[in-house]
Chains A and B, each alone.
Chain A
């Protein structure tokens, strides 16, 4: 995929995410696509059903989930994005909705196949940051480990 195609894909990806268009998001992935969460690498979402389930899992936890593209890195078929989610009002990672505003900055590496569809995605984000923002983990103490 050339740079223009890659840029168009990532812009469409963000647009569909922010419209919470679960089916539309799934259309961007190949039917055999795999999506891996680096924070939980043994758990892989596979195929259209897996992609839809993963998207719904996130949207169920954050009714106003929104992606903001902070950085765009394109190298052939590779892209990286950053994400910000919002209010945690539903269960996510086993944590019932807290109503807390959350900000999770992460990145995804997307590999795009010759068909122009996403073949693999690996998402990197800080699970501990989410748990801290929702009060599941306490905040890091002031001066902890003396930064």
Chain B
């Protein structure tokens, strides 16, 4: 099951890279939770597939360029940990930060995703404090 879980997460990343929200949503359970640092706009916990997809769509709109580039998928059973680099360009310039993405899967669907990263450079690139 763990190999399948890694493939589901990998597929989600590929869909995210294409901005393919429908394909991303197919990997989620109805009750999926998506947590990002509260220091960012759109931060906090989104609950439910529609809310999470709305959050992701909003996130992509914040940036003129955005990518999550996974370096490693770590298999921890029902959890898959992804280590990678986020690169993005916002109105204040480019940002790059190393992140940890912890996915929890049950029954072949993502039920929770938690994103842990330093958001300082992203906040600057989004001009959060100039709003």
By a beta-carbon cutoff of 8 Å, the part of chain A in contact with chain B is 38-39, 41, 71, 73-75, 78, 80, 105-107, 109, 122, 124-129, 131-132, 137-138, 140-141, 144-147
Chain B residue at minimal CB-CB distance from A131: B120
Interchain CA distance A73-B80 in the complex, whole Å: 9
- Whether the Cβ atoms of A78 and B76 lie closer than 8 Å is yes
User: Which B residues lie within 8 Å of A80 (CB)?
Assistant: 76, 81, 100, 102
Interchain CA distance A71-B43 in the complex, whole Å: 20
Does B83 interact with chain A (Cβ within 8 Å)? yes
- Whether the Cβ atoms of B128 and A140 lie closer than 8 Å is yes
Chain A nearest Cβ from B74, distance in angstroms:
6
Check A73/B76 contact, CB under 8 A, given A109-B81, A126-B117, A140-B41: yes
Check A75/B76 contact, CB under 8 A, given A140-B40, A145-B42, A145-B62: yes
Does B118 interact with chain A (Cβ within 8 Å)? yes
- Whether the Cβ atoms of A145 and B83 lie closer than 8 Å is no
For chains A and B in complex, what number of residue pairs have CB atoms within 8 angstroms?
Answer: 101
What does the 1/0 interface line of B73-86 toward A look like (CB < 8 Å)? 01111010101000
Interchain CA distance A107-B115 in the complex, whole Å: 10
- Whether the Cβ atoms of B43 and A140 lie closer than 8 Å is yes
- Whether the Cβ atoms of A144 and B98 lie closer than 8 Å is no
Chain B residue at minimal CB-CB distance from A75: B76
User: Which A residues lie within 8 Å of B43 (CB)?
Assistant: 140, 147
- Whether the Cβ atoms of A129 and B39 lie closer than 8 Å is yes
- Whether the Cβ atoms of B116 and A73 lie closer than 8 Å is no
- Whether the Cβ atoms of B120 and A107 lie closer than 8 Å is no
User: Which A residues lie within 8 Å of B19 (CB)?
Assistant: none
Interchain CA distance A132-B118 in the complex, whole Å: 12
